[in-house]
Amino acid sequence: MSEALSANERRFPGVFVVVEGIDGSGSTTHTKLLGKALRQRGLKVVETCEPSSGPIGALIRQVLQRRLFVADATGPRAFAWSTMALLFAADRMDHLDSTVVPALREGAVVLSDRYDLSSLAYQSVTAPTGEKVVPWIRELNAAALRPDLTIVIDVPVEVAEERRRSRGGLEEMFESSELQTKLCAVYADAERLVPQDRVQHVTGVGAVSDVAAGILNAVTALDPAFFRDRSST
């Protein structure tokens, strides 16, 4: 990982951390565990996610859950990859405006379960032309605030698939084994998609507590002074 982040490098008083990985990597679980650990240190924490809880995010969730389709002459079908890229970018800007930036201004640690790395990974894998679409997706997200740190939770595709099966429910739009296998390879080299960002890989295999400790260590090393334990002060 890159060297520690100085306070002068941050655009806002708070710190913006993103947690990423394929479906079943544990990003949601570990965002919550990280939030709990940081609160125990006396830090103000805001946990959030993408798709967001806003109006565009709610629409995206309906699409992902196969509850909303495109109707054409051949019947209902899934939304095009390009439409999804546009929806995610729009939701991201709303998410930043309504949740992320206000919290950062107040000095909070903002933890987001997914951000634009997901767009770069998922839309480039689902586009017919593959990674040729990456520059366009980057342009869509050019105004998006850069995170101070992105944690990528690495898990083998077989482990992630077993976790998805164990939680039950219908398979969502991006959860096919074939697609997740491609995404696993993309996330293994995530730095290439966001070369300007700080990215730290953490193994997602092993005891949950061990994975959580690895993530906490990576985050607190970003700015030890900011993340010092304030619970006793």
**What pLDDT does residue 8 have?**
62
Domain ranges of the chain: 11-220
Contacts of 142 (CB under 8 A, 6+ apart): none
Each residue's pLDDT tens digit, 102-155: 999 999 999 999 999 999 999 999 999 999 999 999 999 999 999 999 999 999
**Measuring CA to CA, how many Å separate 69 from each of 11, 52, 76, 119, 211?**
39, 20, 6, 20, 37
Tell me the two tokens of residue 63. 């699409």
Q: Are 43 and 127 in contact (CB under 8 A)?
A: no
Percent of the chain with pLDDT over 70: 94
Q: What number is the average pLDDT over the span 189-208?
A: 96
151 contacts 218 by C-beta, under 8 angstroms = yes
- Mean pLDDT over all residues of the chain? 92
Q: Residue 147 in contact with residue 5, Cβ under 8 Å? A: no
Measured over the CA atoms of residue 124, residue 5, residue 53 and residue 162, the dihedral's sign is positive
Closest CA to 201 of 38, 40, 22: 22
Which of 52-56, 70-74, 103-107, 135-139 is predicted least confidently?
A: 70-74
CA atoms within 13 A on the CB side of 171: 10
Q: How far is CA 125 from the centre of its chain?
A: 16
pLDDT at 1: 45
- The DSSP code sequence of 26-49 is SHHHHHHHHHHHHHHTT--EEEEE
Please report, to the nearest 10 degrees, the dihedral formed by the alpha carbons of residues 121, 45, 6, 147 taken in order: 20
Q: Is residue 86 pLDDT above 80, yes or no? A: yes
- Please list the alpha-helical segments (H only) found in the chain: 27-40, 55-64, 81-95, 101-105, 116-126, 134-140, 157-167, 177-188, 208-220
> Residue 201: which pLDDT band, with cuts at 50, 70 and 90?
very high
Look up tokens 């164990």; give the residue: 166
Q: How confident is the model at residue 61 (pLDDT cuts 50, 70, 90)?
A: very high
What percent of the chain clears pLDDT 90, i.e. is strictly above it? 77
Q: How far apart are CA 183 and CA 118, in angstroms?
A: 10
This prediction's pTM: 0.93
Query: Is there a contact between 64 and 176 (Cβ–Cβ < 8 Å)?
Result: no
pLDDT average, residue stretch 48-61: 97
CATH code: domain 11-220 is: 3.40.50.300
45 token code pair:
């924490």
